[in-house]
Amino acid sequence: MKVSCLQMNMELGNTAKNLAHAKELICEAMRESPDVLVLPETWNTGFFPKERLFELSKGACDGVKDCIGGLAREYGVNIVAGSVSNVRGNSIYNTAMVFNRDGVCIAQYDKTHLFTPMGEDSYYTPGTHLCRFALDGIQCGIVICYDVRFPELIRTLALQGLDMLFVVSQWPKTRTFHLRTLTTARAIENQMFVVCCNSCGTADNTVFGGSSAVINPLGETLSLAGEGEEIISAECNMDMLAEIRGSIPVFRDRRQELYSSQ
């Protein structure tokens, strides 16, 4: 499976410009004929314009389904459409969407761990469910940014039979080392591919660090972005999963009776 990450620079609060730019990047990425395209977190609004967030987030999911779903169908490609700030009822959610090659939205996930240091919890409502789906027969899951700091969330997904995890993020440059370390650890400990698509550029006083990466189950980085806007791609050899899991059978050797649920 060939995966391409669209490490996107967005303009805070300019949803029309960001949507148009996402379309441009998708069209550019298709020159490499990937099987899966991946966008970063909250690419419609940036992270995040507090003053007008509710207004800017209205109808976001419908717009993404029409536009990004339409591109998935047009190009015959799977698209992990990052996440968008989106209104449901009277609440704002940080919602990821996944489209198959027919342009059908096959999965939605609301970010479950909101980043309290930047006040995300004061504006967004947390999700209540995890998310697993299949792309071209490969079992996948998705988490959003801060979620990757919670290994129990990802291990729960892994125990359901995950082969590839998508991490979409708006991770700051000051903690790029954390992002690289955490995504690599999640790949090694769960013996799966991890595809991380981060943003870049500046929003208010925060500089986002790029460094999107595709990591194999051995913790080896197959492709790594720099700090600016770019598209990276990597071939993921799914055949290696059986060998790795057979040679180091961590799931078979787990001692569930000793693990606390607290």
| Catalytic position from the list 5, 61, 111, 140 | 111
Where b means 16+ CB within 10 Å and e means fewer, 70-103 reads ebbbebebbbbbbbbbbbeeeebbbbbbbbbbeb
Whether 172 contacts 207, CB under 8 Å: yes
Q: Which long-range contacts (CB under 8 A, 24 or more apart) does 158-161 make?
A: 158/190, 158/191, 158/192, 158/251, 159/251, 160/132
Tell me the H-state helices in the chain. 15-29, 53-57, 60-75, 151-158, 176-190, 240-247
Q: Reduced to 3 states, what is the DSSP secondary structure of residue 69?
A: helix
Token representation of residue 206: 């925060």
Q: Reduced to 3 states, what is the DSSP secondary structure of residue 239?
A: coil
105 part of the active site: no
DSSP 3-state percent helix, strand, coil across the chain (nearest 5):
35, 30, 35
| Catalytic position from the list 61, 131, 145, 200 | 145
Query: What are the residues whose beta carbons fall under 8 Å from the beta carbon of 19, sequence distance 6 or more?
Result: 44, 63, 67
32 part of the active site: no
111 part of the active site: yes
Whether 173 contacts 198, CB under 8 Å: no
Q: Which residues are catalytic?
A: 41, 111, 145
